[in-house]
Amino acid sequence: MTLTAPTPQDTHGVLSPDDLEAALREHVQSYHHQHPFHLRMNRGESTPEEIRGWVANRFYYQVNIPRKDAAILSSCPHPEIRRRWVRRITDHDGTHPGEGGIENWIRLGEAVGLHREKLTAHQHLLPGVRFAVDAYVTFTRTRGWVEAVASSLTELFAPNLMAKRLEAFECHYTWIDPAALAYFRARIDQAPRDSEHGLEIVREYCTTAESQAAAISALSFKCDVLWSQLDAIDQAYGPR
């Protein structure tokens, strides 16, 4: 195979890494921080029942995140990427029983009045949330690993929302023990580290018009996953 400089035709429609990143970042417009359920929650207007419904249903997302990360690990052929990506699994699962993000989420559940056994058995799970989360896991199992990585990039937008949420919980929902908010405190540092890595991968590997379009549509799909979860939660627990 001869290596020649790309002709103008080869690069037609291909974005520079910076333009690709800008196109991805534009998706903040459809991120779930704008969902009416989150807006009400951050204004301090959610009832205890709404908060409980949200915590119980978001638990299904939480427990499935390490499963989708394991799917990405299984299809990624690069040891140097897997070595960094694997950290996401231990962040959520912990390295010992009683540690990690899932356990912290269960403690949040208990602090809002949910029973550990009912929460972990998904007894409160709404069908719309199940379908949305399952669609995310299936996406990462069936698409190429770079597309799956791109779908995680909603985390680019998460730290602002987490910081606002933490403030709202501490200020408005004083019936919740602040120690139970450990999950959100941890994510404020973890999300930027994770999204920086994801972005680095997408910038490096999406070098054709097709792969760039696939990355952008993966992120759009993921915004829909998050939005659909909240639609289902809002419909079940929000004001009529």
Count of residues that bind ligand PQQ according to CB under 6 A: 8
Q: Is 155 in the site for ligand PQQ (CB under 6 A)?
A: yes
Chain position carrying tokens 């379009």:
213
Q: Is 104 in the site for ligand PQQ (CB under 6 A)?
A: no
Nearer to ligand PQQ, 209 or 227 (CB): 227
Kindly report the length of the chain.
240
Q: Is 55 in the site for ligand PQQ (CB under 6 A)?
A: no
Nearer to ligand PQQ, 15 or 150 (CB): 150
Q: Residue 189's CB: how many other CB atoms inside 10 A?
A: 11
Nearer to ligand PQQ, 57 or 154 (CB): 154
Q: What angle do CA 115, 120, 121 make, to 5 degrees?
A: 100
Using CA atoms in the order 21, 162, 100, 135, what is the torsion angle rounded to 10 degrees?
Answer: -60
Among 52, 124, 143, 187, binds ligand PQQ (CB under 6 A): 187
**From residue 66, how far is each of 73, 94, 240 by CA, in Å?**
10, 11, 35
Binding segment (CB under 6 A) for ligand PQQ, from list 12-20, 110-118, 141-149, 153-161? 153-161
In whole angstroms, how close is the CB of 9 to ligand PQQ at the nearest point? 36
Q: Is 233 in the site for ligand PQQ (CB under 6 A)?
A: no
Q: Is 15 in the site for ligand PQQ (CB under 6 A)?
A: no
Nearer to ligand PQQ, 10 or 26 (CB): 26
What is the identity of the amino acid at 224?
D
**From residue 132, how far is each of 18, 110, 176, 211, 215 by CA, in Å?**
30, 24, 28, 24, 19
Residue partners of 174: CB distance under 8 A and separation at least 6: none
Nearer to ligand PQQ, 106 or 226 (CB): 226
| Residues forming the site for ligand PQQ (CB under 6 A) | 65, 152, 154-155, 158, 161, 187, 226
